[in-house]
Chain A
Amino acid sequence: AQSVTQLGSHVSVSEGALVLLRCNYSSSVPPYLFWYVQYPNQGLQLLLKYTTGATLVKGINGFEAEFKKSETSFHLTKPSAHMSDAAEYFCASKPTGTYKYIFGTGTRLKVLA
């Protein structure tokens, strides 16, 4: 079965430090890939997506992600963390030929002052 794996359920970084949240997918055909953010008591908000074309994708709030087919990865990065980035981040895939999206287990990002 196709799956999405997020390494690290909790990640802590200092304010101003690099943020790196890892995501790997399992699929023989590259799916559409997404990163969503969830702030407390809110729904999921799209940060960025990869469908086709450029493998480096820029999203909102200074986040970007790079699709690497050879590594089946779609890691999320931000050069400099801000306190407001503290939230839970979900990687998701939409395999071709299906309506459903498969989510990872989420990574809770903590930003230390």
Chain B
Amino acid sequence: EPEVTQTPSHQVTQMGQEVILRCVPISNHLYFYWYRQILGQKVEFLVSFYNNEISEKSEIFDDQFSVERPDGSNFTLKIRSTKLEDSAMYFCASNPGQGRLWELFFGEGSRLTVL
């Protein structure tokens, strides 16, 4: 079965540095998401993306965060100036938008450690 792939699996960065997390959603999926999970806490919604624009975002998703889908396949999450509290597992997910409507397909996550 097709999978959502994420890179890198683990990234360590210094506070204040920019980080880009990459995702390749399942082809032909229409809705794309980023979630994060701080160690031991719940999975939190960050942003959803549809038709080449943000469809919804949470209060966590402030000006330090951005997403784009530059080439029709990759879906990236950028954190401009990382903070210690950005340390978390970041999950990309996609949804076909029809047929298996509203099923989210998740990648294996990118663990971000901010020092």
A residues with CB within 8 A of B: 32, 34, 36, 41-46, 49, 51, 90, 92, 94, 98-106
Count, A-B residue pairs, CB within 8 A: 56
The answer to whether A106 and B42 touch across the interface, beta carbons within 8 angstroms, is: yes
* Residues of B with C-beta under 8 A to A42: 108
> Which of the four size classes fits the interface of chain B?
20 to 34
Q: Choose among B31, B43, B106 the residue that contacts A99 (Cβ–Cβ < 8 A).
A: B31
For A46, give its contact among B101, B103, B108 (CB under 8 Å). Answer: B103
Quick one: which of B35, B45, B56 has the most chain A CB within 10 A?
Answer: B45
Other A-B contacts than A42-B108, A43-B109, A44-B43, 20 sampled, CB-CB below 8 A, are A32-B102, A34-B104, A36-B104, A41-B108, A43-B106, A43-B108, A44-B104, A46-B103, A51-B101, A51-B102, A92-B43, A98-B56, A100-B45, A100-B56, A101-B35, A101-B45, A103-B42, A104-B42, A106-B42, A106-B43
CB of B18 closer than 8 Å to a CB of A: no
Contact B106 A44 (CB under 8 A): yes
